[in-house]
Amino acid sequence: MSDKFGPMNYNNARKHLSISIPSSSEVTMSPHIKSVEELRVLGINLSSFNTATQFGICTAGVFLFHLLYGYLQELIFSMEGFKPFGWYLTLVQFGFYSLFGLVELQLTQDKRRRIPGKTYMIIAFLTVGTMGLSNTSLGYLNYPTQVIFKCCKLIPVMIGGIFIQGKRYNLADVSAALCMSLGLIWFTLADSKVAPNFNATGVLLISLALCADAAIGNVQEKAMKLHNGSSSEMVLYSYSIGFGYILTGLFGVGGLGPAVAFCSQHPVTTYGYAFFFSLTGYFGISFVLALIKLFGALVTVTVTTGRKAMTIILSFMFFSKPFTFQYIWSGLLVLLGIFLNVYSKNKDKMKLPSLADLRNMVLTGKKVRLLSQNV
C-alpha cells in the first residue's frame, strides 16, 4: 500500500474535515436579526453602537413592546362581555402572525420550506395549546396570576425531564422548583380569597398552557437545527396551520358565530386592539432574540424577569383589582426560584460556587470564628 494512504496522512486529512452544526442562537434568530457583523433589529443596525447603547436599545425594546403587549391583552379582556371569546382572540392573533411571517418570508432570499409538514402539524398543535389556553385562562384569572404562572415554566420542564428522559437535577434546580411551587400556591390562594372572578378552571388552563410551552421549545429547536429552517418559515407555517386548527374547533363547537357577532359590534376595541396586540408581541420577540445573541441567556432572563415584574405592577396601576400583600411575598418567592434557576444554569460558565461550596464556606467561616473566640 502506498504511503499516501498511511495513518499519518489520514490524520492530516482529518484535520481539514469539519461538520458545521448551527447553534441554537443561530437557528432561532429572527429574520429581523442579521449576522453578527451587522446585527439589525427592526431596521436598527445595532452593530454601529457600543455595548452599553446596544443593551439600552434591546432592553428598551423588550420593555416597550412586551409591556404594550400585556397591557393590550388585559385591556381586551377587561371589555365587558369579551371573556368567553379567548379562543377567537387566539384565532385572530394567529391570523396576524401568519401574515407577519408571510411578509418577512417574502423579504428573505430563500423562501423554500425546509421543515417537514408533519413536524409543523405537531408544532402548530403545541402552539395552539400554549397561546389558546393562556388567552382563555384570562377569562377566569387575574392577569398578574397568569403572569406569575408563566414565570414558572421550569416546573413542567423538570417534571417532564424526570419522567420522560430520566434526568437528575442538582440542589439549586430542586430548590428553584420548590420556591416557584410554593410561590405559585401562595399567590393562587391569595387570588382565590380576594379576586371576585377567581375560578379553578383558570389555574387548570394556564397549567396546561405551561406544559405545552415547555414542550414546544424543544420541538422547535430540534426541528430548526435538523432542517436549518428560518424563524420566518417557522412562524408562517406553524401559525397558519394552527389557524386552521382553531377555526375547525370553533366551527365544531359553534363558538365562531357568537364571537364574530360580538366583535363586529365593537370592531375598534376588538380587531383594532388585537392587531396592535399581535404586532407588539411579534416585535418584542425580535428584541429578546437580539439580547440573547449579544449578551447571553443570563442577562436576557434578568431583563425579561424585570419586565414581567413591571407588567404585574402596571396591571395593578391601570386596571382596578383587589390587592393583598400576599401577592408581594409570594411573587418574591417566585423571583427567588427564577434566580436559583439562572444561577444553576450559569454557575459553570461564570465559575460561580455551587450551593454545596457556599455551605462549606459558611461552615468554615463559623469554625474560624469559634477558634478565634477560643484563642
Q: What is the pLDDT of residues 198-238, one digit of tens each?
A: 678 888 998 888 888 777 766 766 776 677 766 667 778 88
- What distance in Å separates the CA atoms of residue 205 and residue 182, rounded to the nearest whole number? 19
Q: What is the pLDDT of residues 363-374, one digit of tens each?
A: 665 554 555 455
Averaged pLDDT score across all residues of the chain: 75
Q: For the chain, first and last CA: distance in Å?
A: 79
pLDDT at 230: 64
Residues sharing a CB contact under 8 Å with residue 291, sequence separation 6 or more, in sequence order? 55, 58, 59, 62, 299, 300, 303
Q: What is the DSSP letter of 165?
A: S
Q: What is this structure's pTM?
A: 0.67
Is residue 281 assigned to a domain? yes
pLDDT > 90? residue 276 = yes
- What distance in Å separates the CA atoms of residue 114 and residue 234, rounded to the nearest whole number? 10
pLDDT at 359: 62
Residue labelled with grid coordinates 452593530: 47
- Rounded to 5 degrees, φ, ψ at 111 are -105, 10
Is residue 220 assigned to a domain? yes
pLDDT at 316: 75
Residues 307/63, Cβ–Cβ less than 8 Å? yes
User: What residues pair up with 45 in beta bridges, in sequence order?
Assistant: 40
Is residue 150 assigned to a domain? yes
Most confident of 92-96, 113-117, 134-138, 280-284: 92-96
Residues sharing a CB contact under 8 Å with residue 113, sequence separation 6 or more, in sequence order? 229, 233, 237
Q: Look up the domain containing 186 and give its range.
A: 40-372
Helix 326-346 × helix 171-194 angle, to 10°: 160
Is residue 184 assigned to a domain? yes
Is residue 5 assigned to a domain? no
Is residue 271 assigned to a domain? yes
C-alpha cell at 289: 432574540
- What distance in Å separates the CA atoms of residue 16 and residue 209, rounded to the nearest whole number? 47
C-alpha cell at 98: 401568519
Number of domain units in the chain: 1
DSSP 170-194: -HHHHHHHHHHHHHHHHHHHHHHHH
- The helix (H) or strand (E) run that includes residue 41 is strand 40-41
Is residue 273 assigned to a domain? yes
Is residue 28 assigned to a domain? no
